[in-house]
Amino acid sequence: VNDNPSRYKITLSGTVKSPKINFQPPFLMLMPVPLDVKTKTAISIIPQGYLRQSRIQVKLPELELEDGDWICPFSVQFPSGQHITLSSDGTNKELICLISFRSSRPVSLLENISFIDEEAN
């Protein structure tokens, strides 16, 4: 300071925490249903560490059937929107996601549904 920088040192330290998303329940098992009957359930998406608004995108699995046809038997809805927001106390608000399954063809599967924020996390 005052043209003598060697006298004073400032050390800064910090921790960077990446935002993350937790799910309740952590995994989902939908019960078998007759063909062309929809089954659905709700999950809670619990965001943590988001300092600004972000929009959640969903990547649904497509399945190849034995005859070569492709189907996407899953669908999702966000009744209150897909945006992660910051509440007045500094925490992120929980999102509700409705996941549905319907298929006109018999299928049994174990697949991932990907939830991706605007930063591709």
What's the pLDDT tens digit per position in 80-105?
A: 999 999 888 888 999 999 999 999 99
Task: Enter the pTM of the model.
Answer: 0.79
Q: Which residue has the higher pLDDT, 1 or 77?
A: 77
Q: What is the pLDDT of residue 31?
A: 86
Q: What is the pLDDT of residue 119?
A: 85
In this structure, the chain runs to a length of 121
Q: What is the pLDDT of residue 4?
A: 64
Range 31-35 average pLDDT: 91
Q: What percent of the chain stands above pLDDT 70?
A: 93
Least confident range of 1-10, 36-45, 69-78:
1-10
Residue 14 and residue 79 in contact, taking contact as beta carbons nearer than 8 Å? no
Which among 121, 107, 92, 115 has a CA at the least distance from the CA of 34? 107
Range 50-79 average pLDDT: 93
Please give the sequence-ordered ranges of beta strands (E in DSSP) within 1-121, or none if there are none.
20-24, 39-48, 54-55, 57-59, 63-64, 70-71, 74-77, 83-84, 95-101, 114-116
